[in-house]
Amino acid sequence: MAEIIIERMGEKADGLAEGRAYPRTLPGEVVSAEGNVIRPSPERVAAFCPVFETCGGCKLQHWSAEPYRAWKTALLASALKARGIEPEIKPMIDAHGEGRRRVSLHVREIAGQWRAGFMAEGSHTLVPINTCPILVPNMQNAPAIAAKFGNIFGDCDVAITLVDNGLDIAVKASRTLAEKAIAQFAPLMRDHGIARIAVNGETRAQQAVPMAHMGKALVALPIGTFLQATSLGEDILAALIVAYAKKSKRVLELFCGAGPFTFRLAEKYTVHAIDSDKSAIAALQAATRKLQGLKPITAEVLDLFRNPYTPMDFKEFDCVVLDPPRAGAEAQCRNIANSQLRRAIYVSCDVQSFARDAAVLVSGGFKLAEVTPVDQFKYSPHLEMVSLFTRS
């Protein structure tokens, strides 16, 4: 039997050896050509999820804490070093908390029963689950709830988010929704504390508008509103942003969403918030009108990819905060680099796009003063980070 030694862990959390990826292996392990572990690493621990070996979700439950943390931090350090940037990297913060508060599940029929789960890695084969241990306790019945939509829509995808007043559910389905289907929602919503059910982007049943606290604000959430994966993660990211904005008076916030950071920033600073999502900005503005005791908040709708803020647009601000999608914000960073701003705070969930954009800011005279990795997507190769750029 051929024996292969895993050389290192790749960026996608697969063990690498001889130019090939071996899922769910660890550096130093001896494996067969099929990827079966012959001699495990002393760093290997027992995964706590019963479907860890087959599910396409978590990839790193089998790695002990310290080497896992070191590898994840090294992802960030390596991406930056490849761009010639070697900043102070703070210790990674565990932001898993009680677990994730949102999940997207696939619903398929298996042996005559509708089941919900995740696809096996690299395939379209459903791995059905009864619970998901990385979700918050109040969402452990999410797979069972999602599976019930199979009886109504057939094959579908169901996104479930825990909000302050229940569950917010968004279904994607190809079957045309008949009015009789809506009648089936009522007992489902009553039995499971569902605030809203949206189908293909349209509200089809609602007991209450889904609400979420963001700092001191209570925000009515439009369909599809982005929330951080964990409540603790949102709190940690916001605290870092507010701390990095110190000595600022007027803050410009780009890619603000419905305001998870806006309202916390406004406890200390005047904020102008921008996002391309009209419904998110409307929700932010509505929540602002009900608040007292914060610094002034203004907001506008603008597609920052098509129409990034120009260098002259920044002149009335002394700090910019940006939290772009995974692809980053290269064009916007070029304009920040060419502005007179002296402080920029960048929140990212992708080390490669962040490193690219950081290089743009550094080339424009900024220094990456420090960056704090935040492990909000625990057991996965994804990493969140908050960084401070300054220039004299």
DSSP state of 228: -
Q: Which of 55, 132, 256, 349 is labelled catalytic?
A: 349
For 258, the enclosing helix (H) or strand (E) is none
Query: What are the helix (H) ranges across 103-167?
Result: 142-148, 150-153
What CATH number does domain 70-96+229-390 carry, 3.40.640.10, 3.40.50.150, 3.30.365.10, 3.10.520.10? Answer: 3.40.50.150
Instruction: Read off the pLDDT of each residue in 126-130 and give the average, rounded to a whole number.
Output: 95
Q: Would residue 132 show up in a list of annotated catalytic residues for this protein?
A: no
- The token duo for 159 is 């996104």
Give the pLDDT confidence score for residue 352 in this predicted structure: 97
249-286: buried (b, 16+ CB within 10 Å) or exposed (e) per residue? Answer: eebbbbbbbbbbbbbbbbebbbbbbbbebeebbebbbe
For every residue of 187-226, DSSP letters joined together read HHHHHHTEEEEEETTEEEEESS--EEEETTEEEEPPTT--
Q: Residue 343 pLDDT more than 90?
A: yes
* DSSP assignment letter at 134: T
How far, in Å, CA of 143 to CA of 103, rounded? 9
Three-state secondary structure call for residue 11: coil
Q: Which amino acid is at 33?
A: A
φ, ψ of residue 81 to 5 degrees: the values are: -60, -35
Residues of the chain with CATH 3.40.50.150: 70-96+229-390
If we measure between CA atoms, which residue out of 331, 341, 332, 329 comes closest to residue 365?
A: 341
Which of 170, 173, 143 is CA-nearest to residue 155?
173
Residue 235: what are its φ and ψ, rounded to 5°? -65, -45
Signed CA dihedral, 274, 280, 284, 285: sign only:
positive
For the chain, give the mean pLDDT. Answer: 95
pLDDT mean over 159-179: 91
Count of H-run helices and E-run strands, the chain: 9, 24
- 21-51: per-residue pLDDT in tens? 999 999 999 999 999 999 999 999 999 999 9
Q: Which two tokens stand for residue 83?
A: 């761009």
In contact, 337 and 271? CB cutoff 8 Å: no
Lowest mean pLDDT among 180-184, 209-213, 281-285: 180-184
pLDDT at 315: 94
**How far is Cα 366 from Cα 358, in angstroms, rounded to an integer?**
9
Model confidence band, residue 56 (pLDDT cutoffs 50, 70, 90): confident
Above 80 in pLDDT, residue 181? no
- Rounded to an integer, the average pLDDT of 261-290 is 97
122 burial level (CB within 10 Å; 0-12, 13-18, 19+)? exposed
pTM of the predicted structure, to 2 decimals: 0.95
Write down the pLDDT at residue 292. Answer: 92
Please give the distance of CA 149 from its chain centroid, rounded to a whole number. Answer: 25
Give the whole-number percent of the chain exceeding pLDDT 70.
99
CA dist list (Å): 330 to 29, 285, 389: 39, 28, 15
| Mean pLDDT across 225-233 | 95
Location of each CATH 2.40.50.1070 domain in the chain: 102-211
Return the pLDDT at 2.
Answer: 79
Whether residue 320 contacts residue 314, with contact meaning beta carbons closer than 8 Å, is answered with: yes
Its CATH class, for the domain covering 102-211, is: mainly beta
Q: Which neighbouring-strand residues pair with 170?
A: 159, 198
State residue 1's pLDDT score. 62
pLDDT band at 294 (very low <50, low <70, confident <90, very high): very high
Strand order of the sheet with strand 20-23? 8-9, 14-17, 20-23
Name the pLDDT band for 320 (thresholds 50, 70, 90). very high
